[in-house]
A = this chain, B = another copy of it.
Amino acid sequence: MTKSNDPLVIFTPSGKRGNFPVGTPILTAARKLGVDLDSVCGGRGICSKCQVQPSYGEFAKHGVTVAADALSEWNAVEERYKSKRHMLDGRRLGCQAKVQGNVVIDVPPESQVHKQVVRKRAEARDITLNPSTKLFYVEVQEPDMHDPSGDLERLVAALRKDWELPELEVDFSVLATLQSRLRKGGWKVTCAVHLGDDYVSPRIIHVWSGYYEGSIYGMAVDLGSTTIAAHLCDLRTGEVVASSGIMNPQIRFGEDLMSRVSYSMMNEGGADEMTVAVRTGINDLFSEISEISGIDLNLIMDVVLVCNPVMHHLFLGIDPFELGQAPFALATSDAVSTRTKNLGMNIHPASRIYLLPCIAGHVGADAAAVTLSEAPDKSEDLVLLVDVGTNAEIQLGNKDKVLACSSPTGPAFEGAQISSGQRAAPGAIEHVEIDPVTKEPRFLVIGSDLWSDEDGFAESIASSGITGICGSGIIEMVAEMRIAGIVDGPGLIGSPEQTGTTRCFLDGRTHSYMVFDGSADSGPVITVTNRDIREIQMAKAALYSGARLLMDKFEVDTVDRIVLAGAFGAHISPKHAMVLGMIPDCALDKVTSAGNAAGTGARIALLNTEARAEIEETVRNIHKIETAIEPRFQEHFVNASAIPNSVEKFPILATIVTLPDVNFNTGGDKEGGRRRRRRG
């Protein structure tokens, strides 16, 4: 019963306020007002999660004066915690400090249940912590022969009474040890409770004897065709505790997705082999992260995984056969939530895994994760979202509508099928400039901060050497070759005569460009062949055509901004991408990188279960465009192979570069740039 002449308690930053009788603990007042103040022990002075910051003095804006004795005196419980743990001066424990007079109480971020998890990018939206599984400490009534009931039922009753939790079920794995843990803890236990979602009802998934000091964890996994990355997250703080990545062990069955689909078609049991490989790989990765972090695998209670549709099917044990042919039917497109045990994962036996929904047969859960992270559906301006990989997943939209498609860019952007191409690793050329007059290149190599024409460069790369050109390097290389007049608009490399440099040399029926000749020192010879140019032309034409198709569907000719997602996207130079005509015309300062947006989306879904329902709804509303059956896509593709394909389409180029008007065609290889790559 509160009365208006009782002391007034005002909480900040929420501004919630109410009158409470003298003697009311601050934690109780917070609960009654619905203020977000954390507690694991339920006010028993054990967990110290309910730390608050009282303020004293005159508060004109709240209309109160807080006296020095507005709260009960600092007590022994608080003294014990302050001496044993981290507790800032001036802080009080909400469960110990009791109302004595009007008081203003600030709840610091770390004492909020639904903390904001800070993201590094300033423009990125915050993640609100709201994990599937939380910890609750309870004291359970002992058994009584006069009123027999099971230990579990008394535990559930205690959780309901103390925490207002619903009637909980219990995971089967809890039963075997429940009785001994209750007794060992003197009928005091800490429970990990999965609070329930669309797939499971609320349930107890772990019980510790007594008060459990530690935390519980989740894993956000980005399962790519080439690499698997995982982030171990603390479900209480939202922090990433440890991360690691491994090569996808499926690579031995084929570098790209289509070759893996082919492997399963050609080999009896091939899909099963690949399923075992990827599950084993994930278990190995989890074990590694467990070792790095010192966190027991059994403390991992939730997993969110994102991946492309082929990986999705192979990981779930579904033959990806249907994804290899029209109509590219997914076995299931909705989100998948299941026990990790069904997937052979060696973590907590009651843990669950959630896979984000797939958008379409070629636009997977990874694309949905990008959507979740970058939220085009919440954008005021029209954003083009491109995740470049072997397929590019492209989204275009704003808060009114989002369109999505996939475009078969092939592996050229990843450095594959490029004569001197390689993965982004020390020794790889990642940035290039070509002098338009001398046609001489200078470049930056991963592992060194010096340009190749700077003093000390050779020493700086002594350990790695110069080994090849990575994906972002090849984009710059081709764009710089075009700017320097070494390559013409249709994509032919000129002869030494045409270009005026002996770096261009006849290489079979066409010419190549010598980037680096280490042969004198028995080192590598790094060239760009005309075939390399063709590969890049096809890849960029596919990417551009997909984006352009979505713009047609949206009935727009320009976009407000472009976000490049993915590790590759983070390294692309917007200027060079524009020169190549990879992306539609856009002011360069409106082209940004979102980093590993798929991984971030996985982390958001892991830390905030509400984001799961949200992305499921969003994905349902995305308009899916299948490029394979869109005649306009073919048209765009055919018209997009030139560098750039049309100056009219790229007015921005006029402000950043002058493209020489060269034409090296001597009659051969006319169709070279127009071969169509099969979808991969």
Residues of A within 8 A of B (CB): 142-153, 169-170, 172, 175-176, 178-180, 199, 201, 316-319, 321-322, 326-334, 336, 338-339, 342, 358, 360-361, 624, 626, 628-629
Given the contacts A179-B318, A327-B145, A328-B145, A150 and B626 also touching, CB distance less than 8 Å: no
Q: Which residues of chain B are near A148, meaning CB under 8 Å?
A: 327-330, 333, 360-361, 624, 626
Copies of this chain in the oligomer:
2
Q: Determine whether the beta carbon of B327 is less than 8 Å from that of A150.
A: no
Bound complex: CA A628 to CA B144 (Å): 12
Q: Determine whether the beta carbon of A179 is less than 8 Å from that of B358.
A: no
Given the contacts A146-B629, A148-B626, A628-B145, A179 and B331 also touching, CB distance less than 8 Å: yes
Bound complex: CA A178 to CA B169 (Å): 30
Q: Which residues of chain B are near A172, meaning CB under 8 Å?
A: 338-339, 342
Given the contacts A148-B328, A148-B360, A319 and B179 also touching, CB distance less than 8 Å: yes
Of A142, A152, A316, most buried by chain B (CB within 10 Å of CB) is A152
Bound complex: CA A150 to CA B316 (Å): 14
Q: Smallest CB–CB gap between A261 and chain B, Å? A: 13
Bound complex: CA A286 to CA B369 (Å): 46
Bound complex: CA A328 to CA B629 (Å): 70
Q: Which residues of chain B are near A170, meaning CB under 8 Å?
A: 332
Q: Determine whether the beta carbon of B145 is less than 8 Å from that of A334.
A: no
Q: Which residues of chain B are near A199, meaning CB under 8 Å?
A: 169, 201
**Which residue of the partner chain B has the closest CB to A309?**
B150
Q: Which residues of chain B are near A339, meaning CB under 8 Å?
A: 172
Q: Determine whether the beta carbon of A153 is less than 8 Å from that of B319.
A: no
Q: Smallest CB–CB gap between A137 and chain B, Å? A: 21
Of A172, A199, A331, A338, most buried by chain B (CB within 10 Å of CB) is A331
Given the contacts A175-B318, A179-B318, A331 and B151 also touching, CB distance less than 8 Å: yes
**A332: which of B143, B151, B316, B317 is its contact (CB, 8 Å)?**
B151
4 smallest beta-carbon distances between A and B, as pairs? A150-B333, A143-B329, A152-B332, A148-B360
Bound complex: CA A618 to CA B358 (Å): 46
Q: Determine whether the beta carbon of A334 is less than 8 Å from that of B175.
A: no
Q: Which residues of chain B are near A626, meaning CB under 8 Å?
A: 145-146, 148
Q: Is the interface of A mostly helix, strand, loop or mixed?
A: loop
Bound complex: CA A330 to CA B176 (Å): 12
Bound complex: CA A149 to CA B316 (Å): 18
Bound complex: CA A175 to CA B271 (Å): 14
Q: Smallest CB–CB gap between A361 and chain B, Å? A: 6
Known: A145-B628, A172-B342, A175-B331. 15 other contacts (CB 8 A): A143-B327, A145-B326, A145-B361, A146-B626, A148-B329, A148-B330, A150-B329, A150-B358, A172-B338, A175-B318, A175-B332, A176-B316, A178-B332, A179-B319, A179-B331
Q: Smallest CB–CB gap between A311 and chain B, Å? A: 15
Q: Determine whether the beta carbon of B361 is less than 8 Å from that of A152.
A: no
**A331: which of B150, B361, B624 is its contact (CB, 8 Å)?**
B150
Of A145, A176, A201, A628, most buried by chain B (CB within 10 Å of CB) is A145
**A150: which of B143, B149, B176, B330 is its contact (CB, 8 Å)?**
B330
Q: Determine whether the beta carbon of A153 is less than 8 Å from that of B338.
A: no
**Which residue of the partner chain B has the closest CB to A148?**
B360
Q: Smallest CB–CB gap between A325 and chain B, Å? A: 11
Q: Which residues of chain B are near A330, meaning CB under 8 Å?
A: 148-151
**Which residue of the partner chain B has the closest CB to A342?**
B172
Q: Which residues of chain B are near A342, meaning CB under 8 Å?
A: 172
Q: Smallest CB–CB gap between A108 and chain B, Å? A: 39
**Which residue of the partner chain B has the closest CB to A339?**
B172
Q: Determine whether the beta carbon of B327 is less than 8 Å from that of A153.
A: no
Q: Determine whether the beta carbon of B321 is less than 8 Å from that of A179.
A: yes
Bound complex: CA A624 to CA B150 (Å): 13
Bound complex: CA A329 to CA B151 (Å): 7
Q: Which residues of chain B are near A328, meaning CB under 8 Å?
A: 143, 145, 148
Question: Can you sample 15 A-B contacts with CB below 8 Å?
Answer: A143-B327, A145-B328, A145-B626, A148-B327, A148-B330, A150-B330, A150-B331, A150-B332, A150-B333, A153-B332, A172-B342, A175-B317, A175-B336, A178-B331, A199-B201
Q: Determine whether the beta carbon of B153 is less than 8 Å from that of A334.
A: yes
Bound complex: CA A630 to CA B35 (Å): 49
Bound complex: CA A146 to CA B328 (Å): 11
Q: Which residues of chain B are near A322, meaning CB under 8 Å?
A: 151, 179
Given the contacts A175-B316, A179-B322, A152 and B331 also touching, CB distance less than 8 Å: yes
Of A151, A329, A629, most buried by chain B (CB within 10 Å of CB) is A329
Of A143, A170, A332, most buried by chain B (CB within 10 Å of CB) is A332
**A144: which of B179, B318, B327, B336 is its contact (CB, 8 Å)?**
B327
Bound complex: CA A153 to CA B342 (Å): 21
Bound complex: CA A153 to CA B619 (Å): 14
Given the contacts A148-B333, A624-B148, A176 and B317 also touching, CB distance less than 8 Å: yes
Q: Smallest CB–CB gap between A75 and chain B, Å? A: 36
Q: Which residues of chain B are near A147, meaning CB under 8 Å?
A: 624
Q: Smallest CB–CB gap between A13 and chain B, Å? A: 39
Bound complex: CA A316 to CA B149 (Å): 18
Q: Which residues of chain B are near A333, meaning CB under 8 Å?
A: 148-150, 152-153
**Which residue of the partner chain B has the closest CB to A627?**
B145
Given the contacts A143-B329, A145-B626, A327-B144, A334 and B179 also touching, CB distance less than 8 Å: no
**Which residue of the partner chain B has the closest CB to A341?**
B341
Q: Which residues of chain B are near A316, meaning CB under 8 Å?
A: 175-176
Q: Smallest CB–CB gap between A343 and chain B, Å? A: 8
Bound complex: CA A71 to CA B155 (Å): 62
Q: Which residues of chain B are near A145, meaning CB under 8 Å?
A: 326-328, 361, 626, 628-629
Q: Smallest CB–CB gap between A617 and chain B, Å? A: 14
Q: Which residues of chain B are near A336, meaning CB under 8 Å?
A: 175
Bound complex: CA A320 to CA B327 (Å): 56
